[in-house]
Structure 1
Amino acid sequence: MSTGTNETWLTQEAFDRRSAELEELSVTGRTEIAKKIEAAREEGDLKENGGYHAAKEEQGKIEARIRVLTELLRHAKVGDAPASDGIVASGTVVTATIQGDESVFLLGSREIVDADTDLDVYSEGSPLGAAILGHRVGDTVTYTAPNGRDITVAISKVEAYES
């Protein structure tokens, strides 16, 4: 269900979860890391101050995650998963045989699923995702992987994602 170039489909639950994470990082995360950096700065020489460098690295990771979440939420399309009409779309769970092995995965954003799920996720922009997007159950497609190999994918089932 991706209509814009940066638009990402999210369930309401995923949107709420990522919004809460953004709020936590923007307020508490930034405050705590600023305190760590200040405390490490007070220890003296910054060149050889491991605590300072670790805190600055953590700050960079927090700021990067804030940017990712901000962009994701700004372009999120929130709603139910697309109806399962047998056509591969963002937000569908696809069962396919890839090079002879059956695989079940979500086509969409990793941000949709909980961290504790074992469901693989492929984005629509990945080589696999781009190759199968818009195809239907029964279709077989071939795409060229980044390593130059031709990969054959036979789509056997497409269903709506349920969190």
Structure 2
Amino acid sequence: MTTRGAEMLREELQQLKSEDRPRIIAAIADAREHGDLKENAEYHAAREQQGFCEGRIQEIEAKLSNAQIIDVTKVPNQGKVIFGATVTLYNTATDKEVTYRIVGDDEADIKQNLISVNSPISRALIGKQIDDVARVNTPNGEVEYEVVSVDYR
């Protein structure tokens, strides 16, 4: 994962531990004061929230402990598409340019032009250099992209 992705996970983990967990514990304690727990919807809802929160905490901690964090800014830019690179592409069929950043699965967000390293377009681009053509198989057929620029920021 990229350094930005790791930082985002650390921020989420901090929020879960310092804000969400105490709020849920307080909600459980408040719901217990209402009496009979068998028919106490607030208590059951808070316990369910607690389960989701604790599960997400464990998931994030596991990802961070197993992740290989790559700071692409420390890699000398040789114009080659690698994990973490920002790539500007020219679609030969539509004459349009698009810019993507290749990131880990957890960071991917197509609305922000962050594509997963495991996506078909990333797999076609990895290893390419400026002016190379990458062919990507899509549901609508093969699309050709020419690599216009590669940035390691």
Q: Does the TM-score normalized on the shorter chain lie above 0.5?
A: yes
Find 1:139's aligned residue among 129, 132, 139. 132
Matches of residues 78-97 of structure 1 in structure 2 within 5 Å?
Answer: 78-81=70-73, 82-97=75-90
Shift of 1:124: 0.6
Shift of 1:157: 0.7
Cα distance change of structure 1 residues 139 and 56 upon mapping to structure 2, 3 Å threshold: farther
- For structure 2, which runs of at least 5 residues remain unmatched after alignment? none
Q: With structure 1 as the length reference, what TM-score do the two structures score?
A: 0.68
Please report the TM-score for the alignment, with normalisation by the length of structure 2.
Answer: 0.71
Work out which of the residue numbers 56, 60, 70 in structure 2 matches 1:69. Answer: 60
Gap regions ≥5 residues in structure 1: 1-7
Residue equivalent to 1:36: 27
Deviation at 1:156, TM superposition (A): 0.8
| TM-fit CA distance, 1:22 | 1.4
Structure 1 stretch displaced more, 99-108 or 28-37: 28-37
Equivalent residue runs for 1:146-157 within 5 Å: 147=139, 149-157=141-149
Q: Give the Cα separation in 1 of the matches to 2:33 and 2:140.
A: 53
Is the contact between residue 84 and residue 92 of structure 1 (CA under 8 Å) also seen in structure 2? no
Identity %: 22
Specify the structure having the higher radius of gyration (Cα).
Answer: 2
Q: 1:75-98 CA deviation, whole Å, 9 max, x = no partner?
A: 132535233221111111110124
- Tell me: CA distance 1:123–1:47, structure 2 relative to 1, closer, same or farther (3 Å): farther
Is the alpha carbon distance of 1:156 and 1:31 closer, same or farther for their aligned partners in structure 2, counting shifts above 3 Å?
same
Report the count of equivalent residues. Answer: 147
Question: Would you tell me which structure has more helix in proportion to its own residues?
Answer: 2
Aligned partners of 1:15 and 1:78 also within 8 Å: no
- Which residue does the alignment assign to 1:106? 101
- The farther-off stretch of 58-67 and 87-96 is 58-67
Asked whether the equivalents of residues 28 and 47 of structure 2 are also in contact (C-alpha less than 8 Å), the reply is yes
Please, what is the CA RMSD of the aligned residues? 3.3
C-alpha distance in 2, partners of 1:27/1:109?
A: 26
Q: Specify the alignment match of 2:3 in structure 1.
A: 10
